[in-house]
Every structure is written in structure tokens, then in C-alpha cells.
């Protein structure tokens, strides 16, 4: 991983020695006389520029480079380290150390841009003299004579104006930089900051884009091509003009051979080597867009947008790529089957959460991300219908006044609601009279749920929802127990996961760990569960919700092992749900239309959402052992 300049030790010109072996020693080749002349010319030029520096008192302080950290692309990985997405603003960059750059590329860049880099003190008098003559003859700045150091300060501190005053400022700043930083440090900053075309800043992202490999692995041919890009990245881009790319590459190879940095045979092999270029990667789409969207939302809320897009984060998500793809396929296939059954529902969403960690394991926000990027798993607030009832019944159990066998009255009732009256009705009509809480919940009777809500207090129900991570707006309206509010599938899956874990809760998250590009930990989401619910009340609820699947409204969710869950169907049949769990996994399935169009008479969560849940859970748990829910008798009653 890259380290900041401040963290590096002041090294001697380490690159000089290997380069000398390839013939960099111009001074060595031409004798001491040329060395003396060159040093004298450098001293005269430097002395003159030091005098001019008095006129540049407002120039930036180059000492800020000691703590300078360039903007860097952030990367998102699945739980096993597979790359899912890269996040960046204008600058797509991955910072590397000089040691992580191929010697071939170092030589190629210096050969074509500044072959005397390790001899001069920031400016090259010969190059400047030649440029001054050309510019004087033409009457404008046509040649720059810039060294690598001058290019660096221009990119970091100065405008792009081609003026004499800017060139002078460039030279002054270059001398100042050379006085503070080693040659290796300057070259490292240069290679990490220059633009290589197609939104690639820095040598590493450029190497990945053009050759699908690290900058450390570039051959002479590849290095020469990349070095040739620096002068005009888009003009010489192999993606736009391959013939021009090869012409420019040959110029670099010729220069490397001319100054003796590569042998003639090596140069010929590089000329003949084909360029197996990749494809632009700066604006590639996420491999798991629904997951990336959740992750970006979490990170932005915690660190801010700029840190996410420019901070070089390395983000490990909680999701396995193959598991997520499996969930997406199940949603897509299920949607086709729904259409085949005559149910014209636009969308299906699915979220799975591990109750032991509250890590998101799968999140599918719609049938096809390419057709619609709206993520219904986290962005759509839909009424859960009867799937909300478990929150009410848990609240009743937690008071210690009710058990699954307590009697509730399923009889007509009327409440004053604002200026009128509200009379809850059961699905399909009719009343059952005196029934147990277990029967009321298994059969999904509406009237007992509303009566219990009034008896224990709706504010208490809302308080429990908040403990379980439901942040959507909740109002203590009389119909709240029947799910007359909007929630997201992610909230429902996360809340039911706490029931599955007997009241132990961690914040639901799709982010496991975040580091910076140097490996320093920025966020560690190792679960730290807290007991937020009464264990007896949670276990009692689990025992009742098992009956929903074994003999209630959710029998089509039977997966052949102990499982608990609840169906949900809104009165207008605009939303149908099934939310259920085993001790290792909680999942929520929602079906509906984006325009809230009713799904049709007789459409229920048990009939349509439960089979999708069943298919997903069977596949998800096929290699998982059967686990059993803890009996309420193992816990003291509140």
C-alpha cells in the first residue's frame, strides 16, 4: 500500500544506480569536462532563478507536499475479497510506492520526459535554453523544456496557461521541491499524479486499464506505450487510435535505445511485441449494483461523500458474490412464474440478514437493475400489512401479562378516530369470538391485533420497532398493528432477525470492514450484539410464528426444517409480503407495483410471497445444518 511522503525516509537516489547500469551516465560517457560545464550552467541558471524568486513571494509553499495525500479511488469487495466496484469522482487513482512500479516504466518515462532527472536540481539548462530560443523565434510559448519536477509542480500548484511568467514560477517551485524532497520521492509523486487518459490518474490505475495488470508487471513494450501517453493521453490512446499509439511507442523505444537504457535486441523485441490492451475501467458499473448502493449509502452517512469518492477506502462488504447472484436469479425466475400465473406485479424485492451478526447476506431491490435502478429494498416504503403484527404480539408478551395461550376477543369493536369512527375487520369477514393469542396470530386475525395494540399502548409498539432498527416514520394510529405504515424490506428482515436471535441485536449493515489504502482500519463492524428484547417474550413469539408456517397462513413457506414467519397482505392488495427466519437466516420478500396499482382480488402474501421465500431459503440453507429455536421454558418469564 502507498504511504504518504511524510512517512517515507529520505532516501538517496536509489533508482540512479540500476539506471546507470543501462547507460544513464551521460556524464560518465562524455567525460568530466561536460560534467563541469553542465554543473556551471546549472549553477548560473539556478542563481538567476533564485534572484527572480523574490518576485514570486506569493507562490505556494511546497512544504505542504510533506503531508500531501492525493485523491484516490475507493474499492468495494465482497466478503471473500472479489472486486465489486470502484468509487471515485473526477480522479480515478490508486496510489502506489515507487518500489511497486516496474523499472521498465521508470526508465521509459524518464527517457522520454526527462533523461537527466537524476543529474539536475529541478531544471535542465540545456532544455530550457533550447525552449527559450524556439519560443523567442515564434513569439509565444511553443516548447516548455519542463523537467519531471517542473511538470509535477505545474500539475499540483499552477494553472495551464502557456505564459512566460507561469514557466518562471514553475522553475522556481521545481528548485524548491528539489531542495526538500529526494529524487525518488519526486518521481513517486509524479507517477501517482499525472494523467494517463480515460480518467486514469496515476500509474497503477492506468496499467490496470490498458493492460489489466499492475504497474509492477509492465514489460518494456507496455512501459514504452504508457510513457508515450503522457504528452497527449487521448491523442495516443490505444482505444482511440492504435496506429498512432504504436508510432508514439516506437519513439519512446528508440529514445531508450539511443541513450543506452535498453539493449538493441531488447528494443527490437519491444517494437515487435503486440500490445494486448484491455478496456477503459474508470466508469465501469458495479458487479453487484444493489449491494454497492447500500454500501455507498452507509459509508456516505458515516464519512461523507468526499471521503468515499476520494479517500482511497478499501471496503469489505458482508455479501458473498455468488450468494447474491443466486438471490437475484431466484427473484427474476420467481417474477416470471408470477407472470405465468397471471399476476402482473411489476416488482419483487428480497433481503436476507444473518441473525447472529445482522450482516446483510443478500439484497435484491428489483427484478432487473438494468431496467430500473430504483432499489426497493432500501428506498421504497411499503405497507407491511399483517407482517407488522409480530411487533404488537411481542410487546404484549414482554409485559408479562400475556402468553401465547392468553385469550383475546375476536369480536366487533369501534374506535373513535379523529372526527369519525374506525371498525377493524378480519380478512374475509367474520369473527371467531374468544380465541388464544396463538390462534389469532397463526390465522392472522386483525381485530385481536388492534385490541392488543390499544391495551398495551401503541407508543410501546413503536419503541420496540425503534429498538429493532426500524427508522421509517411510525405514527400511533389505531390501524398501526395492521401495518398501515410504510417500511422497507431491509428493515423488516433486520427486525425479524432479532426475534430469531432471541432478542440479541446488532445494527444491520452491509459493511464488514473499511481500511484506507495503507491498511489502517477506518471502520470495524465486528458484531457487538446487545440484548434489546426479553428472551422469553422473543422465544414465545418464535414458537407462535412457527405455527404460521406449519398450519397457518404461511404453509407454502414450509422448507422442511423449523422456521418461523409471518404473511402480510394489505387491505387493498397493493403489497404482499412474507417475512420469516431460521436461527441462521432471516429473509423478507415483498411483491408489488411501483405505481401502487392493486395486485388483484385474492392475492395474498401466503399465496405468492411465501413460495419465493421458500425457494430462496431452501437454496440458501442447502449446506447449512438444521438448527432449532430455543424453547420459552429455557428463559424466565418477565
> What is the 8-class DSSP label of residue 605?
I
> Could you give the dihedral angle defined by the CA atoms of residues 186, 192, 196 and 198, in that order, rounded to the nearest 10 degrees?
-160
CB 483 within 8 A of CB 381: no
The C-alpha cell at 228 is 508515450
Label each residue of 37-88 as H, E or C.
HHHHHHHHHHHHHHHHHHHHCCCCCHHHHHHCCCCECEEEECCCCCEEEEEC
Q: Which residue has the cell 519531471?
A: 148
| H/E run at residue 106 | helix 103-113
What is the set of active-site residues?
Answer: 113, 386
Q: Angle of helix 535-551 relative to helix 489-500, nearest 10 degrees?
A: 110
3-state secondary structure of 181: coil
Distance CA 196, CA 579 (A): 50
- 178's CB contacts (< 8 A; 6+ apart) are 121, 122, 149, 186
Count of residues for the chain? 638
Distance CA 469, CA 520 (A): 29
The CA distances from residue 620 to 210, 305, 323, 584, in Å, are 39, 34, 8, 10
CB 267 within 8 A of CB 257: yes
The C-alpha cell at 101 is 512500479
Residue spans of beta strands (DSSP E) within 494-596 = 504-505, 511-515, 521-524, 530-531, 564-569, 575-582, 585-592
The C-alpha cell at 463 is 419503541
- Pick the closest to residue 595 from 629, 566, 572 (CA basis): 572
Amino acid at each position: 500500500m502507498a504511504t504518504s511522503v511524510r512517512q517515507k525516509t529520505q532516501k538517496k537516489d536509489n533508482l540512479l544506480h540500476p539506471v546507470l547500469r543501462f547507460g544513464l551516465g551521460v556524464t560518465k560517457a562524455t567525460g568530466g569536462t561536460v560534467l563541469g560545464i553542465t554543473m556551471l550552467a546549472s549553477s548560473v541558471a539556478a542563481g538567476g532563478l533564485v534572484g527572480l524568486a523574490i518576485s514570486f513571494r506569493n507562490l505556494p509553499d511546497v512544504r505542504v507536499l510533506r503531508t500531501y495525500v492525493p485523491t484516490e479511488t475507493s474499492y468495494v469487495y465482497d466478503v471473500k475479497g472479489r472486486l465489486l466496484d470502484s468509487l471515485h469522482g473526477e480522479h480515478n487513482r490508486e496510489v502506489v510506492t515507487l518500489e511497486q512500479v516496474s523499472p521498465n516504466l521508470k526508465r521509459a518515462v524518464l527517457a522520454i520526459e526527462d533523461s537527466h532527472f537524476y543529474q539536475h536540481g529541478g531544471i535542465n539548462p540545456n532544455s530550457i535554453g533550447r525552449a527559450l530560443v524556439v519560443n523567442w523565434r515564434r513569439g509565444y510559448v511553443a516548447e516548455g523544456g519542463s523537467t519531471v519536477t517542473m511538470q509535477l509542480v505545474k500539475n499540483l500548484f499552477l494553472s495551464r496557461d502557456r505564459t512566460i511568467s507561469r514557466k518562471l514560477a514553475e522553475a522556481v517551485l521545481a528548485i524548491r521541491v528539489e531542495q526538500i524532497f529526494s529524487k525518488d520521492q519526486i518521481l513517486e509523486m509524479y507517477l501517482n499524479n499525472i494523467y494517463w487518459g480515460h480518467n486514469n490518474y496515476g500509474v497503477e490505475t492506468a496499467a490496470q486499464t490498458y493492460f489489466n495488470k499492475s504497474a509492477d508487471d509492465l514489460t518494456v513494450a507496455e512501459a514504452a506505450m504508457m510513457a508515450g501517453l503522457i504528452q497527449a493521453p487521448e491523442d495516443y490512446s490505444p482505444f482511440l487510435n492504435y496506429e498512432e499509439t504504436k508510432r508514439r511507442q516506437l519513439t519512446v523505444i528508440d529514445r531508450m535505445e539511443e541513450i543506452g537504457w535498453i539493449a538493441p535486441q531488447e528494443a527490437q523485441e519491444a517494437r515487435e511485441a503486440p500490445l494486448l490492451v484491455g478496456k477503459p475501467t474508470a466508469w465501469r458499473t458495479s458487479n453487484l449494483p444493489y449491494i454497492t448502493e447500500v454500501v455507498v449509502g452507509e459509508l456516505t452517512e458515516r464519512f461523507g461523500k468526499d471521503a468515499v469518492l476520494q479517500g482511497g477506502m478499501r471496503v469489505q462488504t458482508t455479501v458473498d458474490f455468488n450468494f447474491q447472484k443466486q438471490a437475484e436469479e431466484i427473484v427474476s425466475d420467481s417474477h416470471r412464474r408470477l407472470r405465468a400465473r397471471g399476476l402482473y406485479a411489476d416488482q419483487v424485492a428480497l433481503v436476507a440478514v444473518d441473525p447472529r451478526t445482522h450482516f446483510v447476506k443478500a439484497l435484491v431491490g428489483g427484478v432487473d437493475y438494468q431496467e430500473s435502478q430504483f432499489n426497493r429494498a432500501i428506498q421504497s416504503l411499503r405497507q407491511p400489512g399483517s407482517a407488522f403484527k409480530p411487533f404488537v404480539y411481542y410487546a404484549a408478551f414482554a409485559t408479562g401479562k400475556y402468553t401465547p395461550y392468553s385469550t383475546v376477543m375476536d369480536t366487533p369493536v369501534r374506535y373513535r378516530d379523529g372526527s369519525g369512527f374506525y371498525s377493524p375487520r378480519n380478512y374475509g369477514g367474520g369473527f371467531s369470538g374468544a380465541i388464544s393469542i396463538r390462534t389469532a396470530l397463526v390465522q392472522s386475525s386483525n381485530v385481536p391485533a388492534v385490541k392488543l395494540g390499544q391495551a398495551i399502548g401503541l407508543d410501546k409498539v413503536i419503541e420496540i420497532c425503534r429498538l429493532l432498527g426500524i427508522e421509517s416514520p411510525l405514527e400511533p394510529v389505531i390501524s398501526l398493528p395492521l401495518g398501515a405504515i410504510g417500511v422497507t424490506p431491509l428493515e423488516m428482515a433486520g427486525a425479524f432477525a432479532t426475534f430469531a436471535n432471541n432478542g440479541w441485536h446488532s445494527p444491520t449493515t452491509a459493511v464488514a470492514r473499511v481500511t484506507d489504502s495503507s491498511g489502517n482500519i477506518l471502520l470495524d463492524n465486528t458484531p457487538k450484539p446487545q440484548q434489546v428484547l426479553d428472551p422469553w417474550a422473543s422465544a414465545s413469539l418464535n414458537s407462535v410464528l412457527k405455527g404460521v408456517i406449519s398450519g397457518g397462513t404461511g404453509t407454502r413457506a414450509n422448507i422442511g426444517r423449523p422456521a418461523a414467519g409471518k404473511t402480510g397482505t394489505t387491505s387493498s392488495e397493493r403489497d404482499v409480503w412474507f417475512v420469516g427466519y431460521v436461527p441462521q437466516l432471516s429473509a423478507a420478500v415483498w411483491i408489488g407495483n411501483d405505481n401502487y396499482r392493486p395486485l388483484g382480488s385474492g392475492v395474498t402474501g401466503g399465496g405468492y410471497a411465501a413460495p419465493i421465500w421458500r425457494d430462496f431459503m431452501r437454496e440458501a440453507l442447502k449446506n447449512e445444518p438444521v438448527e432449532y429455536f430455543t424453547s420459552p421454558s429455557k428463559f424466565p418469564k418477565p
